Amino acid sequence: MLTNDELAKWDRESFFHPSTHLGQFARGEAAQRIVTGGEGVFITDRDGNRLLDGFAGLYCVNVGYGRPEIAQAIADQAKELAYYHAYAGHGSEANITLAKMVMDRAPDHMARVYFGLGGSDANETNIKLVWYYNNILGRPEKKKIISRWRGYHGSGLMTGSLTGLELFHKKFDLPLAQVIHTDAPYYYHRPDLAMSEADFVAHCVARLEDLIATEGADTIAAFIGEPVLGTGGIVPPPEGYWPAIQKVLDRHEILLIADEVVTGFGRLGSMFGSDHYGMKPDLITSAKGLTSAYAPLSASIVGQRMWDVLMQGTDEYGVLGHGWTYSAHPIGAAAGIANLKLIDDLGLVQNAAEVGAHLLAGMREAVGGHAHVGEVRGEGMLCAVELVADRDRRRFFEASETMGAKVVAAMLKRGVIARAMPQGDIIGLAPPLCLSREEADQIVTVTRDAIVEVLGPGSA
Ligand code: PLP
Ligand 1 centroid to 300 CA: how many Å?
13
Amino acid at 370: H
- In this model, does residue 186 exceed pLDDT 70? yes
Q: How far apart are CA 22 and CA 19, in angstroms?
A: 9
Report the residue among 158, 229, 262 best suited for mutation to probe ligand 1: largest number of ligand atoms under 8 A from its CB: 262
Ligand 1 centroid to 271 CA: how many Å?
18
Q: What's the pLDDT band for 307 if we cut at 50, 70, 90?
A: very high
Burial 98-128 (b: 16+ CB within 10 A, else e): bbebbeebbbeebbbbbbbbbbbbbbbbbbe
Query: What's the mean pLDDT in 360-388?
Result: 98
**Looking at ligand 1, which atom is closest to the CA of residue 123?**
10
Cβ–ligand 1 distance for 259 under 6 Å, the answer yes
Q: How far apart are CA 281 and CA 107, in angstroms?
A: 9
Residue whose Cα lies nearest atom 1 of ligand 1: it is: 153
Cβ–ligand 1 distance for 287 under 6 Å, the answer yes
Cβ–ligand 1 distance for 125 under 6 Å, the answer no
For β-strands 110-116 and 298-303, DSSP reports them as antiparallel
Report which DSSP code applies to 390. Answer: B
Percent of the chain with pLDDT over 70: 100
Query: What's the mean pLDDT in 328-337?
Result: 98
Q: What distance, in Å, lies between the first and last C-alpha atoms of the chain?
A: 53
Cβ–ligand 1 distance for 175 under 6 Å, the answer no
Query: What's the mean pLDDT in 4-25?
Result: 95
| Predicted confidence (pLDDT) per residue in 255-282, tens digit | 999 999 999 999 999 999 999 999 999 9
Q: Among candidates 73, 87, 80, 225, which has minimal Cα distance to 149?
A: 225
Q: Which pLDDT score is estimated for 334?
A: 98
CB 101, CB 274: distance < 8 Å: no
- In this model, does residue 460 exceed pLDDT 70? no
Q: What's the pLDDT band for 247 if we cut at 50, 70, 90?
A: very high
**Looking at ligand 1, which atom is closest to the CA of residue 231?**
5
CB-based burial label for 37 (10 Å; 0-12, 13-18, 19+): exposed
Query: What's the mean pLDDT in 136-141?
Result: 98
Identify which has the larger pLDDT, 459 or 408: 408
CA distances to 165, 222, 283 from 274, in Å = 23, 16, 10
CA distances to 179, 233, 382, 411 from 388, in Å = 32, 14, 20, 18
Query: What's the mean pLDDT in 387-396?
Result: 97
CA distances to 83, 101, 229, 455 from 92, in Å = 9, 14, 35, 55
**Sequence-distant (≥ 6) Cβ neighbours of residue 306 within 8 angstroms:** 111, 129, 133, 255, 282, 283
Q: How far apart are CA 247 and CA 266, in angstroms?
A: 26
Q: Which pLDDT score is estimated for 458?
A: 86
Cβ–ligand 1 distance for 231 under 6 Å, the answer yes
| Residue 307: count of CB within 10 angstroms of its CB | 16
Q: What is the DSSP string of 398-426?
A: PGGG-HHHHHHHHHHHTTEE-EE-SSSSE
Q: Which pLDDT score is estimated for 423?
A: 94
Q: How far apart are CA 302 and CA 45, in angstroms?
A: 40
**Looking at ligand 1, which atom is closest to the CA of residue 156?**
16
Query: What's the mean pLDDT in 33-62?
Result: 97
Ligand 1 centroid to 50 CA: how many Å?
27
Query: What's the mean pLDDT in 396-423?
Result: 97
Helix pair angle (437-455, 348-367), 10° resolution: 30
Q: What's the pLDDT band for 1 if we cut at 50, 70, 90?
A: confident
CB 434, CB 348: distance < 8 Å: yes
| Predicted confidence (pLDDT) per residue in 83-98, tens digit | 999 999 999 999 999 9
Query: What's the mean pLDDT in 313-332?
Result: 97
Average pLDDT, the chain: 97
Cβ–ligand 1 distance for 286 under 6 Å, the answer no
Q: How far apart are CA 223 and CA 255, in angstroms?
A: 6
Q: How far apart are CA 224 and CA 231, in angstroms?
A: 15
Ligand 1 centroid to 55 CA: how many Å?
14
Ligand 1 centroid to 60 CA: how many Å?
10
Q: What's the pLDDT band for 374 if we cut at 50, 70, 90?
A: very high
Q: Among candidates 208, 226, 225, which has minimal Cα distance to 217?
A: 208
Ligand 1 centroid to 69 CA: how many Å?
25
The CA-CA-CA angle for residues 185, 186, 191, to 5°, reads 100
Q: How far apart are CA 167 and CA 424, in angstroms?
A: 12
User: What's the length of the chain?
Assistant: 460
CB 425, CB 455: distance < 8 Å: no
Ligand 1 centroid to 166 CA: how many Å?
16
Q: Is 111 helix (H, G, I), strand (E, B) or coil?
A: strand
Ligand 1 centroid to 20 CA: how many Å?
17
Q: Is 395 helix (H, G, I), strand (E, B) or coil?
A: strand
Q: 256 φ, ψ to 5°?
A: -110, 125
Cβ–ligand 1 distance for 134 under 6 Å, the answer no
Amino acid at 57: G
CB 300, CB 293: distance < 8 Å: no
> Three-class SS string for 126-161?
HHHHHHHHHHHCCCCCCCEEEEECCCCCCCCHHHHH
Q: How far apart are CA 187 and CA 363, in angstroms?
A: 19
CB 231, CB 152: distance < 8 Å: yes
Cβ–ligand 1 distance for 152 under 6 Å, the answer yes
Q: Which pLDDT score is estimated for 324?
A: 96
> Three-class SS string for 168-228?
HCCCCCCCCCCEEEECCCCHHHCCCCCCCHHHHHHHHHHHHHHHHHHHCHHHEEEEEECCC
Ligand 1 centroid to 258 CA: how many Å?
12
> Three-class SS string for 38-72?
EEECEEEECCCCEEEECCHHHHCCCCCECCHHHHH
Q: What's the pLDDT band for 147 if we cut at 50, 70, 90?
A: very high
Q: Which pLDDT score is estimated for 228?
A: 98
| Predicted confidence (pLDDT) per residue in 335-367, tens digit | 999 999 999 999 999 999 999 999 999 999 999
